[in-house]
Structure 1
């Protein structure tokens, strides 16, 4: 199907070329709304509209006032959560246009920044109400809109992120994190979040430009939208990036993130409060991922094991999942890493919490609990015995071997492998117990599984069990 075969779309395509900028913006808005509502499902129609709507909006970036601002916001909605659309936008030279717009809408140096933690008259980004929106200067609104468009343009598209990071605009992004307007701070935080998803070599640009300190400052902001984006950006930056972990710790990030775990505000909606909680726990989880024992201990000294236990039982399933993942990361490493958690929570409470999570109705929580078992089983004989002595845990491990989900199967197989290392003194006893539970038979049945990773680990587990019995 072609666009000219649909009367309404044909009219909108004509209006996208109207000499009046406002009319072009309205037409682009209509097309964008139809696209986001999935009314335009035909691939050819979407392609035709993309090559027309995106250039139209890019040209509107050059219009003055509300039209420019509206074009940025419509563009952000159009490309949001769509890597193909973001790639098409990058191919249409959108990134240079948005970078230029960020610079053109930036305030003068005398009015650009203020303390991010001070109370501001702004209302959180995205809340209803024309009054708070009107109170901000037109230039601030345009600057915010430019950042939101830039954030959306590279949220899922790595080539677009590369273009942004190589454009030199990161200095402006970092500066905007300390802007006097909460809306601009939140938008700059959103942009940082998008860029922080980049490959490790490119994320270095953010670190080199000093993004860590203003991000940590934003963790004490009064605006929920700012808190959500700042914590989300930190989530991405600290993952597999040891220097950033140290920098966040140095700037007091641990205490600020722990404070946000239970954060609340009378001006924030329940959804915003929940988002702050999730991102705070998520950031702490990533902070301890493959971290030094010193960093793990610093996090738990601030958070506390009782609080961690409460997070594993909170009504919010996403928080529960992140809390279990936090435990998973804490017990990954050496015997001392496992000992800290077992001592901090107590052996009985560790087992009870893991069993409850394995039985959780939320699949993500159960998967994380299974990998907590995997990491506990990688510890010394005492840690392995903690797993083996729990009939409930072992029932779930055996059942997981028959799961239709490959990641669940893989976790269960890894648990078996970690419990049966031949070099360990009690390995033979554990192998005999596992055989009595039917584990060996289950593994043999899995030897022809369709997932290559599962099959590879199954063969390793069977070989290891056999080697242990022969010793």
Structure 2
């Protein structure tokens, strides 16, 4: 088939003889293509994007991108104004192409257009007329990236990687940091903030935005809204000379400025990181309008020293502890009447694990920093009550973003404890109101979402997610939400997400005689359109479904009655349907009815559905009835083989609960050949998948037949087990502690690692600023009436804190993951050697792993350790390293079961050169389970199974006595734990009766 002739207008563009004629052609092209997707497609196929790429690259404002073809602006006669006009027309034309839909993203992303546009935007001499159209292009691409493919996970980060790179990230600080001034500036600030809210999903990007000053520029913008609202603290002018402030009160935000994009950008940067949140709260913009309040004391509390100096009396109490003027704008609410209690789940623990800390109830991945409890009663920034005021006073997206930000601060432990009651009575009803069918936003915020869906729909989909984050692991908040009919509302909304969706858009018409698929395949990538993707409405429904599933999962982890309420509302089948993935290929026609269960779900929805299913499996009754009837195991057995590793982790976490001994699905897991997959995943390079797989295998191994246990050990392989149990659980702590001691340049404000290997009292960003070093002061020499971009860069110490805490989060997580792998492996081995046929499995392990190697590994876990430090006068040369409690509990449990084996198994334990000697060090351990387990070891070693073993028991009792066990047991007779005291009585009786006979 003959290739069609290129449109004449493209030939005119390529043959233009001057910049003015080139700009005129580009202007005509723009007018012809706006609103005409078919013309856009034709022009793209005939090479419009490479032409525009070369045209813009010829401007070469520092991007370093060489043009591919001969069309160059600088080669054509004309003035600089004409060259800028041509570039502007080309940029607007690209924006028109980007709005054509998801299919146009593929050629745009395949070309150098986005890097060139960002180079122009980042250039110091970028014309102001270019800023707004380039930002609109970037937002159009960001809005349509999720439409490309619902299977894509992680999300397409190509644009984010470019925008947040070292080369271009500074332009965001420059754009957001400018004064509002004109309408063009106002819009560009909101578009730049909107890009952060849409694209910033990676933790590395968030850290970069905080480190390069973007977070501080956003804080200044928030401060300008606080000024406009008249909420600047009285006396703030008197603090402007402090080095931690801006030096002047920011200009008030204009009336038409939107705060929602700013709040969203701040939220996505600080969420999951307490250190970035504190960095935001201690930024110069916030401290300028909300200066730190100094504590006031009664005159009678202030005493004078002999030389005129003053000091506080020992009974001095500060006035107005923690109060701010903003508190008077909030209504009073009843204090919490709900007493804290342990988890009310009827989920039975494994034997001997009643007192140990198990997994949190989070239904979707949550970083460790989210688990921190609220700090002291007075450690709260005035931003918190101001946000609560916004939640009550504003509406629409501003209200929701204020709710989301205050929720993040609450989750990070940066609010007062009594805020739980205020959030219960003020925030939860508002979030539930946003989910009502009749809730509508009068104005549509087209700037933030590109007009793809209405603000009302966007608010509904995000409100459920904010509710989920708010109520996680807090029973009082969960109770208030359930009392507000949250389960009933969310259940109905989940059902409605499965209503058939009729997309009225029709596929683009193509004239006969156009290129065949084979001919199109020979064209460059920037000349080929991508798949049509999904409609914005379909993606909205998928995101809404995901948020609803998260909210349901967050409401029910502790109360069986809540889980039963979910079942009674008839949504279990819909949760199971949400476990089914999208088909690999996109639908051929978008006009057919869609959104049925067979259409599947994207990866984020699968993860949320796994979280909801896992919460429901905590209920024995629900697991035995509703989940079995709905067939929960079938989709999970598919998801455990899913190509995305996050889905594998989420599915495995559900299978962990299905594999428990009381579960009727345990046999199904064994018969469905899931064990080989779990064993394979236990060897994964992903630590989370390893931990979840070992946890599931541990549950399968408990109280099962020996052939299944043998199959598990064979699947894991003896060499791998040797490697894991042979690792030193304190090696990481030793290396880190040595590095800290060697670092002689550590500032005095930092402390050293504690016994758990964690840094404490690290340069609190919200501490008083008195006594700062010179490098902490603002270096900008401008007078106080001016605010410059340089002032937004975090000073040296604040940047050091960010980097330090970021490293701390990563190293702490790595340490806990390493410990968890060892813990789960030891727990698995323990379950292998308990129950019927335990003696045979002990012999099997001794044969496969090695009798001496296994006992040596257990003894090594108990071995006391110390850290060799460099010689220093003021400190000792050794520091004790504590073996993690989780490892001690797992090891002592394992020894208990070995000691319950045959007499010769017990004899091996007491004959080992180090095992009993090291065990004696832990009878007075701070954790009750370690103390109890040590006593149980003594009981099992001295318990007489029959008369033939009496002499062996007596011999073992004598060895225990010579090792000092009687003194250890005597110290536990008055232990505060009842179980320890009762077990100690039994152990003393056995040892004394055997050694005195």
TM-score bracket for the superposition, by shorter chain length? 0.7 to 0.9
- Looking at structure 1, the residues matched to 425 and 562 of structure 2 have their Cα atoms a distance apart, in angstroms, of 17
**Match of 2:922?**
400
Query: 1:168 is paired with a residue of what secondary structure?
Result: coil
How far the C-alpha of 1:5 sits from its partner, in A, is 2.2
Map Cα deviations across residues 165-205 of structure 1 (whole Å, 9 max, x no partner): 3332111111211131112111100111222233x233323
Q: Which moves more between the two structures, 3-12 or 58-67?
A: 3-12
CA separation of 1:336 and 1:392: change in aligned 2, threshold 3 A: same
Contact 2:923 2:935 in 1 (8 A): yes
Q: Would the aligned equivalents of 1:421 and 1:468 in 2 still touch at CA under 8 Å?
A: no
Q: Which of the pair has the greater relative contact order for Cα pairs under 8 Å at 6+ separation?
A: 2
Greater CA drift, 372-381 or 309-318:
309-318
Instruction: Choose between structure 1 and 2: higher helix proportion.
Output: 1
Name the residue aligned to 2:830. Answer: 328
1:368 maps to: 890
Aligned partners of 1:228, 1:110: CA distance in 2, in Å?
34
Root-mean-square deviation (CA, aligned residues, Å) is 2.8
Deviation at 1:462, TM superposition (A): 1.3
Partners in 2 of 1:172 and 1:457 — Cα distance? 49
Structure 1 residue 74: deviation in Å? 0.9
Moved more, 247-256 or 372-381: 247-256
- Which residue pairs with 2:632 in the alignment? 211
| In 2, Cα distance between equivalents of 1:5 and 1:391 | 69
Q: Does 1:33 align with 2:408?
A: yes
- Is the Cα–Cα contact under 8 Å of residues 312 and 319 in structure 1 kept in the other structure? no
Which consecutive residues of structure 2, in runs of 5 or more, have no partner in the other structure? 1-322, 331-382, 440-455, 504-532, 583-601, 730-817, 864-881
Please tell me whether residue 317 in structure 1 is matched to residue 819 in structure 2. Answer: yes
Give the SS at the match of 2:901. Answer: coil
How far 1:280 sits from its partner (Å)? 1.0
Task: Choose from 682, 691, 699 the match for 1:286.
Answer: 699
2:376 is the alignment partner of 1:53? no
* Contact 2:461–2:547, Cα closer than 8 Å, also in 1: yes
Match of 1:123 in 2: none
* 1:438 maps onto 2:761 in alignment: no
Uncovered stretches (5+) of structure 1, i.e. residues with no partner: 112-130, 265-272
Residue of 485, 489, 498 corresponding to 1:106: 498
User: How far does residue 470 in structure 1 lie from its aligned partner after superposition?
Assistant: 6.1
Match of 2:615? Answer: 194
Distance 1:432 1:110, change over 3 A: farther
- The answer to whether the aligner puts 1:414 opposite 2:936 as a matched pair is yes
Structure-to-structure mapping, 1:89-104, within 5 angstroms: 89-104=481-496
Any conservation in 1 of the 2:690–2:821 contact (CA below 8 Å)? yes
- Equivalent residues of 2:581, 2:603 under 8 A apart: yes
**Bigger mean CA deviation after superposition, 361-370 or 427-436:** 361-370
By how many angstroms is 1:10 displaced?
6.3
Structure 2 distance, partners of 1:309, 1:208, is 42
Change (3 A) 1:244 1:356: farther
Larger Rg: 2
Select which of 179, 191, 199 maps to 2:581.
179
Tell me the equivalent position of 1:5: 328
Q: 1:133 to 1:239 in 2, by over 3 A?
A: farther
Match of 1:244 among 648, 665, 688: 665
- Partners of 1:144 and 1:293 in 2: CA distance: 41
Q: 2:569 aligns with which of 167, 185, 188?
A: 167
User: Residues 154, 460 of structure 1: CA spacing in aligned structure 2 closer, same or farther, 3 A cutoff?
Assistant: same
Q: How far 1:57 moved relative to its partner? A: 1.0
Shift of 1:135: 11
Q: Deviations over 1:85-116 (max 9, x none)?
A: 222222221111111111111264999xxxxx
The equivalent residue for 2:847 is 343
**C-alpha contact 1:50 1:88 (8 A) present in aligned 2:** yes
Deviation at 1:331, TM superposition (A): 1.3
Instruction: Report the CA distance between 1:377 and its aligned residue.
Output: 0.3
**Displacement, 1:347?**
0.6
Structure 2 vs 1, CA of residues 160 and 283 (structure 1 numbering), >3 Å: closer, same or farther?
same
Query: Structure 2 vs 1, CA of residues 440 and 39 (structure 1 numbering), >3 Å: closer, same or farther?
Result: closer
